A and B are shown apart, each in its own frame.
Chain A
């Protein structure tokens, strides 16, 4: 199964749905309750993916200033600014990729603050623009443990969301449909987890720059048969790569854990830099973030409430530090590179002394400055020197 075709089909289907007056469209955050939306029959669009596309194509550098001029600060999430800027300019990278003129207009927007509060401002902008209803799930965050009270808070918000969606769709939620969607989501995420675990193999068959692309379906198509099929296929393909000793990085010498967002506009540059230095990034906080191991079709809403609270970004520093330390050991990584992403403090874990704490535990680490999209915050030369010097010390 071809990832390119899968993504193309997803976007063309979404585009067609946007033009069909009988088809409802929901916009959802990447760690929002997509399963509920799909169970209602919504076609689901993810603005964060649009932000990543703008970043990867570097067209964000034309759209961020538009949002800045409109009143959104250059210091806030550059997914938000590049996406809103693109909307204001009437631009989308989907045109060049798939011939699509614009993302489909939403019938409802649903966000979850489990990842950050910026998504609230982002989705509220579009709610005003499209005069569409918006629903926010306000998650308790930075949690040391997931308590029943936390789960209950989110569960009750899911129930309120369902009531709202029933009004929009003029139909009751089909519980069997939800169970089926949650099961598919759980299966795809289990397979994705398995794919990622294959990077433990030495030499690793894939690296971080591969997995940032391969994660597309788990974000945008979770809860569908296509995502499950894709990861079944991918899982087998990676197993075959291991059997044939196919190595992602020729002559792999060093292995790294990457924390934080990718620098979308410099993916190729970074991939080549690590390849040249015979270094494989074998694990990352980012790609591991869409593993929902506790999704349970028998109790879909409660299990979803728990899983969406349990995501890495929503946990406290002690949890994150242990998670990174354990994952580094598990994947036999030699060190950690923290990406201090200027406009994404929520998904940056180096700012409260974690690198030093890990270093005291014997884990070498490096912090590089950059951003997920805004290349004004990233220096090729400085990052190259820092990364190469770090690799020299390992």
Chain B
């Protein structure tokens, strides 16, 4: 008698800041998700993110071999280094697949994915990626830009939205370049400006930079990606800039790419009806 093997579909979004992992069943239901910082040697940390010490599922057996029925798909900048992954796809397609499954939108929409290393604006039409833009070779408009300035000001990333909410003045940061922005920030603070106003200006500069990447041609916007998860204040600023649009934030924004990768694994490995 054939023994049916339960299949697990693992999606890894190996980003510049964090490694995100989602595991699904064959229907795309999320069984578990987890993340850890992107550290090196990379593969050791990817394996650590996949393994757990508790009773949560892991694709590896006690000897470290991949268990039967576990299909791993890798996405993100580190995808090509994950040699045990069965499938690889870009984070652009992964985020699209995650958003598609989460929201099921039929109308055209634009995904704004602000990542640690880069930002993407992805236009979806007729349920497919119609066009996308990635920021230029520059940290402005990405999580790295926010992170660098937060580090310089010795502020915790998680607190920035709360700090920005207390602003009482509109200011503009003129610099695109992270290094020059740091100089500008120091100059502004030396002149006695409140840090709350500065963080608000920092968020505004990120929003401005993302909106400069390409014209938004759809009426619906979906936010995805890790930076939105930490900096919810950015969403309100986008809403202020794009007043006539409808907005969605995908659930578990940070895991959307990993979820999309897992879904891609399901798509590439269609199960027979009795599975």
Which residues of A pack against B, CB within 8 Å? 359, 364, 369, 377-379, 381-382, 384-386, 388-390, 392-393
B239 in the interface (beta carbon within 8 A)? no
Question: In the complex, what's the smallest C-beta–C-beta distance from B31 to chain A, in angstroms?
Answer: 26
Given contacts A369-B136, A378-B137, A392-B89, contact A385 B77 (CB under 8 A): yes
Question: In the complex, what's the smallest C-beta–C-beta distance from B128 to chain A, in angstroms?
Answer: 7
Most buried by A among B80, B90, B93, B129: B90
Residue in contact with B137 in the complex, picked from A379, A384, A389, A392, CB distance below 8 Å: A379
Question: In the complex, what's the smallest C-beta–C-beta distance from B137 to chain A, in angstroms?
Answer: 5
Residue in contact with A388 in the complex, picked from B90, B128, B130, B137, CB distance below 8 Å: B90
B13 in the interface (beta carbon within 8 A)? no
| B78: nearest chain-A partner, CB-CB | A381
Q: Is the CB of A382 within 8 A of B89?
A: no
A385–B16 Cα distance when bound, in Å, is 13
Question: In the complex, what's the smallest C-beta–C-beta distance from B242 to chain A, in angstroms?
Answer: 20
Question: In the complex, what's the smallest C-beta–C-beta distance from A353 to chain B, in angstroms?
Answer: 11
Given contacts A389-B92, A392-B90, A392-B93, contact A384 B80 (CB under 8 A): yes
A378–B92 Cα distance when bound, in Å, is 20
Q: Is the CB of A385 within 8 A of B91?
A: yes
List residues of chain B with CB within 8 A of the CB of A393.
93, 128-132
Q: Is the CB of A382 within 8 A of B137?
A: yes
Of all A-B residue pairs in the complex, the 8 with the closest CB atoms, nearest first, are: A389-B92, A389-B90, A393-B129, A379-B137, A392-B93, A388-B90, A369-B137, A381-B77
Q: Is the CB of A385 within 8 A of B134?
A: yes
List residues of chain A with CB within 8 A of the CB of B118.
382, 385
Q: How many residues of B contact A (CB 8 A)?
A: 16
A392–B93 Cα distance when bound, in Å, is 8
Question: In the complex, what's the smallest C-beta–C-beta distance from B97 to chain A, in angstroms?
Answer: 11
Chain B, 93-116, CB within 8 A of any chain A CB: 93
Q: Is the CB of A377 within 8 A of B137?
A: yes
A385–B91 Cα distance when bound, in Å, is 8
Chain B, 118-173, CB within 8 A of any chain A CB: 118, 128-132, 134, 136-137
List residues of chain B with CB within 8 A of the CB of A385.
77, 90-92, 118, 134
Question: In the complex, what's the smallest C-beta–C-beta distance from B88 to chain A, in angstroms?
Answer: 8
A393–B129 Cα distance when bound, in Å, is 6
| B92: nearest chain-A partner, CB-CB | A389
List residues of chain A with CB within 8 A of the CB of B129.
389, 392-393
Chain B, 222-271, CB within 8 A of any chain A CB: none
A38–B134 Cα distance when bound, in Å, is 47
A138–B90 Cα distance when bound, in Å, is 47
Q: List 11 A-B contacts (CB under 8 A).
A: A364-B131, A369-B136, A384-B80, A385-B92, A385-B118, A389-B91, A389-B132, A389-B134, A392-B129, A393-B131, A393-B132
| A368: nearest chain-B partner, CB-CB | B134
Q: Is the CB of B134 within 8 A of A382?
A: yes
List residues of chain A with CB within 8 A of the CB of B89.
388, 392
Q: Is the CB of B92 within 8 A of A392?
A: yes
Question: In the complex, what's the smallest C-beta–C-beta distance from A262 to chain B, in angstroms?
Answer: 18
List residues of chain A with CB within 8 A of the CB of B132.
389-390, 393
Question: In the complex, what's the smallest C-beta–C-beta distance from A389 to chain B, in angstroms?
Answer: 4
**Known A364-B131, A393-B130; 18 more pairs at CB < 8 Å:** A369-B136, A377-B137, A378-B137, A382-B118, A385-B91, A385-B118, A385-B134, A388-B90, A389-B93, A389-B129, A390-B132, A392-B89, A392-B90, A392-B92, A392-B93, A393-B93, A393-B129, A393-B132
A379–B77 Cα distance when bound, in Å, is 12
Question: In the complex, what's the smallest C-beta–C-beta distance from B161 to chain A, in angstroms?
Answer: 28
| B118: nearest chain-A partner, CB-CB | A382
List residues of chain B with CB within 8 A of the CB of A386.
134
List residues of chain B with CB within 8 A of the CB of A377.
137
Question: In the complex, what's the smallest C-beta–C-beta distance from A362 to chain B, in angstroms?
Answer: 11
List residues of chain B with CB within 8 A of the CB of A382.
118, 134, 137
A389–B93 Cα distance when bound, in Å, is 7
A364–B125 Cα distance when bound, in Å, is 14
